[in-house]
């Protein structure tokens, strides 16, 4: 496989070094001794630049007249070192971790990641101890929970109701979080197996412009990367309103001697329980375990191996019609079917090898595996269809997911022009056993099966990513991606009218996706970029085989025109106008077991983000987003996109200090939006404010977190649904909702141990 990747890399015209001296080296964290990725390295005085890879390595193959090197990275003290001194220390240097200073942040001249500065700042400043809050690190991304804390959140971004992940690619340590052909919804992305305190960085990219990303990357992608090492051992206890409890423990498994040898192994475990704020107690339980080894296993190879397991079980209040509250049938936080709820688990193993070749080329190999179970009980329509037993449904599956990712990176030169080439291949397989949609009563009484079968889906992908830096200001990134999909569905239900009978149904399809981006850096404080690209998301196998492969991979065409700039030393801004057009698609409705048809859509809007530091420990941030979306094929007035966000904004004020008092006051705002195609029903907006206050010392921390400090009454999720309540003569079409959290306070106490 290694020879194959090397051949692919050189096949696409990777250029060898032809003149001048080579400068290369390695950068590590002074305290952890672990390599630092994403450090910008400048050669002075000619100001050539490069970035460190996952192993902390950088290289310049063709340079002249180098006097010194300058190293800059967010969260680290900048450093300038004479070349002779750097070589004297065997081309290795350590950077000192420091508090975030916006004055030290430079606009990255490296093409491909205009959001890097914003994401690094946010992860350093935000206090996150809840898995649901992790996704909110992405500017403009909103989430909604409507089936208890154990279910994946509904995601909104760039005018898309992404459902539970259909139009956004989510990865954890490069392992897919999204589930294809899931029992509940296509692209279902349950990230609750990630323990928040283990997250080291969160990288996000908006739009379908990254050749390394394939399925579900239409609005963009989110990549969570866990810590390679722990700075200290931690024990944390939390307790709060509504019988909420949490216990966290994180421990280093190796001593200081191993750390000096760049070896790290730690474990983390989390248990959470809450009854939540609903009248029907959730009895929510979740257990997480995570362990990770990261270290150098040879002179040129690093190994990252992690394993994790999640188990969660809960009751849910579900969605309730507005008339049920106004007529006094149930309370605002009540439930109409107390049997709703679920149970889920996921166990992962993930191994990544990073090898640096003698000329500075980088080979990456990754193998991953997940075993996953899901069992959900819901009732959206109550007594609409079955007026005697009710419409409760059960969605269930057991899944094996496995995959491989490999890539080869090379840097070559055409004179002073620098060409960074990356070629990669990816494989993913999913196999489910007895994916079920059934009509039930009181959770476990089976009335009849609606869907029953085994799903198999295999994808194979290849991509090429070329970044040509013509000079210190102008860069071009061109990418191309090919994805091949093979679908199989073994229908076990003779009564399923979607198929001619029982047996195995198979189809295949492919997608070609070009990408092109231009970057212009005026200086270290100003960058402009234009990105164009085509992406896609796959559709559910049960829909694809029923339609004989028609439109199984609907395309998304995107364009971004943006800028990253620092108008002042303590202020950084990212702004962009964007456009996304989505092809017609066939959608499998997991709640009904039917194929639904939707036409083409177009969306356009703008994103604006600012991060401001008026005082040494005081930070202000604000994200403002607007999206205008319409269906293309429907007449005006009937072409609204249900639940598509229009105006959204988040922001806050943070006081961040390593010791003493620190905290934040943050808000989330979502404006009114259409609940149906003709906007006769409205999904009403909300404005919610959260508060965090911590007192931190060297060995301990005491914290207070208050969600919805103003006790605003708001609706977290809303849907246009036709329902019939028990005893009603006729169904009613109206908005059904899940209420958002009221005032909820919790205390925490953490102990830090070396």
Q: Fold match between 2-98 and 116-240+250-753?
A: no
**Residue-level pLDDT at 753:** 92
Nearest-angstrom CA–CA distance, 291 and 305: 8
Characterize the bridge pairing of strands 79-82 and 68-72. antiparallel
β-pair type (673-674, 700-707): unpaired
> Which among 223, 224, 221, 141 is positioned nearest to 535, based on CA atoms?
221
Burial state string for 611-650 with b = 16 or more CB within 10 A and e = fewer than 16: bbbeeeeebebbbbbbbebbbeebeeeebbbbbbbbebbb
Q: Does domain 2-98 have CATH number 2.60.40.1120?
A: yes
**Per-domain residue ranges for the chain?**
2-98, 116-240+250-753
> How far, in Å, CA of 98 to CA of 71, rounded?
14
Contact 717, 305 (CB under 8 A): no
At 49 the pLDDT is 80
Is 116-240+250-753 CATH 1.10.530.10? no
pLDDT of residue 111: 59
Low-confidence ranges of the chain (pLDDT < 70): 1-21, 62, 110-112, 129-132, 586, 590
Q: How far is CA 323 from the centre of its chain?
A: 36
With 0-12 CB in 10 A as exposed, 13-18 as middle and 19+ as buried, what is 81?
middle
pLDDT for the residue 524: 83
């Amino acid at each position: 496989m290694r020879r194959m990747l090397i051949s692919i890399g050189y096949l696409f015209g990777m250029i060898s070094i032809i003149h001048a001296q080579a400068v290369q080296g390695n950068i590590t964290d002074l305290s952890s001794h672990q390599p630092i990725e994403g450090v910008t390295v400048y050669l002075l005085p000619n100001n050539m630049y490069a970035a460190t890879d996952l192993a902390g390595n950088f290289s310049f193959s063709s340079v002249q007249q180098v006097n010194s090197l300058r190293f800059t990275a967010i969260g680290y003290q900048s450093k300038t070192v004479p070349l002779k001194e750097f070589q004297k220390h065997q081309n290795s240097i350590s950077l000192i971790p420091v508090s975030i200073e916006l004055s030290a942040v430079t606009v990255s001249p490296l093409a491909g990641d205009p959001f890097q500065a914003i994401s690094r700042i946010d992860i350093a400043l935000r206090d996150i101890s809840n898995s649901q809050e992790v996704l909110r690190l992405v500017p403009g991304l909103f989430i909604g929970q409507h089936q208890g804390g154990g279910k994946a959140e509904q995601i909104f971004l760039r005018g898309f109701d992404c459902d539970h992940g259909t139009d956004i690619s989510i990865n954890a340590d490069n392992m897919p979080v999204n589930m294809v052909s899931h029992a509940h919804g296509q692209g279902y992305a349950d990230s609750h197996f990630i323990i928040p305190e283990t997250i080291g960085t969160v990288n996000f990219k908006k739009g379908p412009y990254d050749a390394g990303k394939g399925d579900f990357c239409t609005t963009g992608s989110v990549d969570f990367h866990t810590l390679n090492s722990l700075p200290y051992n931690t024990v944390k206890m939390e307790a709060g309103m509504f019988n909420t409890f949490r216990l966290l423990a994180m421990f280093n498994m190796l001593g200081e001697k191993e750390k000096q040898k760049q070896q790290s192994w730690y474990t983390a475990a989390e248990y959470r329980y809450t009854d939540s704020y609903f009248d029907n107690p959730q009895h929510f339980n979740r257990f997480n375990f995570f362990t990770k080894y990261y270290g150098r296993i040879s002179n040129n190879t690093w190994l990252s191996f992690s394993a994790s397991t999640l188990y969660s079980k809960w009751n849910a209040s579900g969605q309730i019609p507005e008339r049920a509250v106004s007529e006094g049938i149930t309370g605002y936080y009540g439930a109409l079917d107390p049997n709703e709820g679920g149970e889920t688990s996921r166990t992962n193993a993930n191994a990544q090898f990073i090898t640096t070749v003698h000329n500075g080329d980088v080979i990456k190999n990754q193998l991953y595996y997940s075993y996953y179970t899901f069992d959900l009980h819901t009732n959206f329509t109550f007594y609409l269809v079955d007026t005697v037993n009710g419409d409760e449904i059960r969605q269930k599956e057991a899944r094996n997911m496995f995959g491989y990712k490999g890539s080869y990176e090379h840097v070559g030169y055409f004179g002073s022009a620098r060409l960074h080439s990356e070629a990669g291949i990816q494989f993913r397989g999913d196999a489910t056993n007895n994916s079920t949609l059934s009509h039930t009563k009181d959770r476990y009484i089976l009335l009849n099966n609606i869907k029953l079968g085994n799903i198999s889906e295999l994808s194979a992908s290849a991509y090429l990513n070329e970044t040509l830096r013509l000079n210190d200001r102008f860069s071009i990134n061109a990418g191309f991606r090919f994805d091949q999909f093979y679908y199989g569905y073994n229908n076990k239900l003779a009564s399923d009218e979607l198929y001619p009978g029982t047996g195995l149904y198979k189809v295949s399809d492919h997608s070609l996706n070009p990408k092109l981006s231009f970057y212009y850096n005026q200086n270290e404080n100003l960058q402009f970029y234009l990105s164009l690209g085509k992406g896609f998301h796959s559709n559910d196998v049960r829909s694809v085989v029923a339609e004989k492969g028609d439109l199984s991979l609907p395309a998304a065409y995107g364009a971004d025109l943006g800028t990253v700039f620092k108008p002042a030393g303590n202020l950084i801004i990212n702004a962009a106008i964007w456009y996304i057009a989505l092809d017609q698609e066939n959608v499998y409705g997991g709640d009904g077991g039917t194929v639904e048809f939707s036409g083409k859509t177009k969306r356009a809007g703008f994103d604006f983000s600012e991060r401001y530091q008026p005082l040494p420990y005081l930070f202000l941030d604000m994200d403002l987003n607007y999206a205008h979306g319409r269906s293309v094929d429907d007449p005006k007035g009937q072409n609204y996109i249900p639940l598509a966000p229009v105006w959204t904004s988040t922001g806050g004020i943070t006081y961040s200090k390593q010791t003493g008092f620190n905290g934040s006051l943050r808000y989330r705002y979502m404006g009114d939006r259409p609940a149906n195609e003709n906007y006769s029903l409205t999904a009403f907006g909300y404005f919610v404010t959260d508060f965090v206050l911590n007192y931190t010392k060297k060995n301990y921390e005491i914290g207070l977190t208050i969600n919805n400090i103003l006790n605003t009454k708001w609706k977290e999720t809303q849907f246009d649904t036709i329902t019939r309540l028990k005893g009603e003569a006729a169904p009613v079409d109206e908005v059904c909702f899940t209420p958002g959290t009221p005032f909820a306070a919790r205390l925490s106490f953490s102990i830090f141990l070396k």
